[in-house]
Structure formats: C-alpha cells, structure tokens
Amino acid sequence: MSRSIVILCAVIACELLVAIGLVGWWVASDSEASAPEPPRPNLTFLDSVTVQEIRNRQEDVTANGADGADDWRALAEIYVLYGFFAEADICCQRAAELDPEAFWTYLWWGTALSRIGDTSASTEKFRAGIPYAEDALADVCRYCIGLNLLREENSQEAEEAFRTAEGYAPADYELAKLLVRSDRSQEAVPILDGLIASHPQTQKYHQMRSRAAQRLGDLEAANDFQNRADRATQVLPSDELTGFLEQQIGNHGLDVWIQQGKDLYASGSLDAAASRLRQVLEVEWRPEAADLLVQAELQLGHPEAALPILNEAVRRSGTTPQRLVALGDVHHRLGHESQAKDSWQWATELRLDRAAHERLAALFEQTGDEREAARHEGLAQLAAGIFAERAGQLDSAVDMLQQAVTIAPELAHAWYHLGECYRLLDQSEPADRAYRQCLTLDPYHGRAKRGLDRMLASQ
C-alpha cells in the first residue's frame, strides 16, 4: 500500500512539473506575443542611408522579443528628427510603460506632441519629465512649456514658466521679449544686459535690447545696440528646441557621411574626403557636399572633375558668390582667362567678396591695369576689414581698413567703416577725420552722417 502511494505521489509530482512548465511556456509566449510591433511610416522620401538606420532601429525594438525602453526611445528620437511625430508618440508611450522614470522619453514625447500641435498634451509630458531631469535639463522642459503656452496665446502663464527657468538663457530671452512687448521694457533691460554680457556675439539679444531702448525713448542706445547686432556673428534659431533638433539631425543618416567628408577635408586627407563626398552625392544631392567636393578636387589639381559638379550645383541650388569664385578658379586652372574674369566679376556683383576681389586684383596686375588692380585690392581689404569689425576684432579691422584707403582712397565705404572702428575704440579724432572724408566722397552717406553726429553728441 505504501509503495502504491509513493508511486502515485511521484506521478502527481511529474504531472505538476509538466503543468508548471506548460504554464511558464504559455506565459512567456503570451508575453512575447504581446510585445507590440513598432509603427512603420512611409520612408520613401528619405535617402537610403537614413532609411537603413531607421530600419535598424525598428529591428532593434523587435529583435528576439527585446521590447526594451531604450530601443523604443531611440526609435522615437529618430522619428521626431525626420518628422514622423505621430509614430514617435506611439514609441514614447511604449517606452514610458517600460520605464516611467526616463527623462529623455518625456522630452522626445513632449517635442513630438508639440510638433503636431497638441500643445496641452505636450506640456503634460514636459511636466512629467521634470522630476527625472538632471542639472539644467529641467529648465529645458520649463522653457518648452513656456513656448507651448505662447502658442496657446496664454502669455501670463508663459511668463511664469519662463521665470521658473531663470538663468537658462533661452528662457530669459523669451521672458525679456514678453516684457518688452507688454510695455515693461524697464524690467527687461537688466535681463537683456545680463544675456549680452554672457553672450556678446548673439545677434538677437542686441536686437531685443535695441527694441527695449526704443520703447523707453532712448534712441541713441537703440541705434548703438542695433549697430552691435549688425556686427554680431552668432545667429541663433528662432527657438532653442528647433536649434536642438537641427543639431541632433546632424548625428544621423547621410549627415554623418557629410561630416566625415568635412573632417577628412579639414585634416588634409583630400583623396579620402573626395571619395566620401562623392558617395554622398551618389545617394542624394546635397549642396554642401557638392561645394566641398569642388574645393577638394581643386586642391587635388583636378579642375576638369570639379567643373561638372559646379555646373550641377548651380543648376540645382542656384548661383552664389562662393560657387562663382570656384567657377572662376576652375576656368583659370583650365586656361580660360576670359571666363574666369567673368565669373569673379559676377561674384562681386552679388556681394563684397574678398576672394573674388583678390583674384581680380591679381588678374589685372598681370594684364598691367594697375588702377583696376588697386581698386580690387582695396575692395578686398575692405571686405576683410568689415569681417574683422563684425567679429569684434577692431584693431585688426583698423589695420585692414587703413590699407584699403591707402590703396584705393576713393572708397567712401572704407572710410566710413574706418570711422566706425575708431569710434568704437574711443579714438575720436581719427574717427572724425574718417567720417568727414567719407562724406567728402559721398555727401549722401547717411550712416557716416549718423556716426559723426553720434560721436559729436557723446563728446
């Protein structure tokens, strides 16, 4: 009897083990089956390199039933960057289910929703990300919330959101802009002055400070800050979020190949750079890759290879001074001097271009036309001086502008910029002489007249 009981117990135990195994298999199978498929948007308008990267990320989500939050978040990121916002929303929802405390999930989620116009839901996601943000990233969320509220024309709550991100430059700028627009320019002034002190080359900070001064009736300060804006070298995007997305997209797809071409060119590996840039153009036409490839081919001594690329660049993307200078260089290398001259002159008609004027000066020097050679050399120095002036390198600018007026004293605009540089250096006597010489050559030069009046008024 006892033996029968033992056998029976053994049979029951085996059955239990089998049952547990079957239940475990069923649960695992059900779990694997429940892992959702990622959304797969139409990728036909993208280049093949970017398409492959997106497909790799799609496969990472489903590979071996992985279903990991990081993979879903990575897929959401690339969907946001290439405009698939509804699909990014789905991916972020799954990532948040798997890991509800990941800051970047909420940042990408809020960004996707803001791009499809659902500002209320976007704000909700940005708020959800704040507790999990490190360092200043919480202020990024507060700033984005303020932008959403502005889109909803809720300026009062937007102002409160920007104030909670005090010290974060983009939020401070938006707050100052709101204050100026609501006739509280006096309150905006210290904020803008702080931004300018920290970011002296940012154009829009000077422009807003000029607007604040104008609202306060200080026209001299308004003119001064507008002049500073004209010389500023850093032009920021309309908002920080847009700038962030533009920066991030450079880390993906065909943009990575373009950056590799730039790095190889900068390091002097011209053959490798040309090879990589040609691969880019074989995949998709990119103007910046074409322009850089032309420069690489010229430096490699291959003007005949550069010419068809240049012609295609002009056909597809239009004429620019840079392309016209390069076209002149190509014709010059090929011995087509008349066509080279026409290309360089055309470039100078589009803008004051130092490279084009330098080449024309050398060309006229060779043909014995010393007057034209001097004029173009003076214009080349003028272009260089203006560039240095706008970069805040006033001493260097003075040297170049002095050369310009020595070589070509008839250039009224060179005398004006020389006067501006001296004024900014607080050297009133040479500034006065330069402004007056400009007005002697061109009595209707309004900016020289204003510069002279401003300097006399300050004295």
Q: Are residues 218 and 98 in the same domain?
A: yes
Low-confidence winner among 56-65, 264-273, 401-410, 430-439 (lowest mean pLDDT): 56-65
Reported as a single tens digit per residue, the pLDDT across 322-364 is 999 999 999 999 999 999 999 999 999 999 999 999 999 999 9
Domain assignment of residue 337, yes or no: yes
Grouping H, G, I as helix, E, B as strand and the rest as coil, residue 235 is coil
pLDDT classification of 18: cutoffs 50, 70, 90? very low
Taking CA 152 as the corner, what is the angle to CA 128 and CA 171, rounded to the nearest 5 degrees? 60
Mean pLDDT over residues 114-136, rounded?
95
Tokens of 194: 């702080």
| Residues 164-188, mean pLDDT to the nearest whole number | 96
Say how far apart CA 354 and CA 377 lie, in whole Å: 9
pLDDT tier for residue 224 given thresholds of 50, 70 and 90: confident
Check the CA dihedral 250-254-260-262 and report its sign: negative
Q: Are residues 58 and 181 located together in one domain of the fold?
A: yes
On the question of pLDDT at 220 being above 90, the answer is no
Looking at the structure, tell me whether residues 58 and 129 fall in a common domain: yes
Same domain, 415 and 389: no
Residue 19 has pLDDT above 50, yes or no: no
Per the domain annotation, does 36 fall within a domain? no
Assess if residue 310 is contained within a domain.
yes
- Which of these three, 318, 348, 371, is where a domain ends? 318
Q: Domain limits at 350?
A: 326-395
| Domain identity same for 226 and 284 | no
CB 189 within 8 A of CB 212: yes
Q: Is residue 32 part of a domain?
A: no
Q: Does residue 14 register a pLDDT over 50?
A: no
Structure tokens at 42: 């139409």
Domain membership flag for residue 3: no
Among 183, 202, 231, the domain boundary falls at 231
Of 201, 231, 261, at which residue does a domain stop?
231
Q: Does one domain contain both 220 and 293? A: no
Q: Is the pLDDT of residue 232 over 90?
A: no
Distances (CA, A) of 266 to 200, 259, 296: 28, 10, 10
| Domain shared by 173 and 83, yes or no | yes
Let me know whether 370 and 259 are in one domain.
Answer: no
243 lies in some domain: no
* Domain assignment present for 255: yes
Q: What is the CATH number of the domain that holds 256?
A: 1.25.40.10
* 121 lies in the same domain as 269: no
pLDDT at residue number 27? 44
pLDDT at 121 over 80: yes
How many domains would you assign to the chain?
A: 4
- Do 97 and 142 belong together in one domain? yes
Q: How many CB atoms lie within 10 A of CB 104?
A: 18
The predicted pLDDT at position 454 comes to: 83
pLDDT of res. 2: 53
Question: 121 with 111: CB under 8 angstroms?
Answer: no
Rounded percentage of the chain residues whose pLDDT exceeds 70: 92
The pLDDT, as a whole number, for residue 65 is: 66
Q: Give the span between the Cα atoms of 261 and 111, in whole angstroms.
A: 31
Same domain, 376 and 269: no
pLDDT at 17 over 60: no
Residue 16 has pLDDT above 90, yes or no: no
Least confident of 16-30, 66-80, 256-270: 16-30
Average pLDDT, the chain: 91
**Structural domain contains residue 406:** no
Same domain for 351 and 310? no
Q: What is the pLDDT of residue 337?
A: 94
Q: How many CA atoms lie within 13 A of 116 on its CB side?
A: 17
Locate 435 and state its tokens: 């402004």
Residue 202, phi then psi, degrees to nearest 5: -90, 115
Instruction: Report the pLDDT averaged over residues 163-172.
Output: 96
How far apart CA 407 and CA 303 sit, in angstroms, is: 33
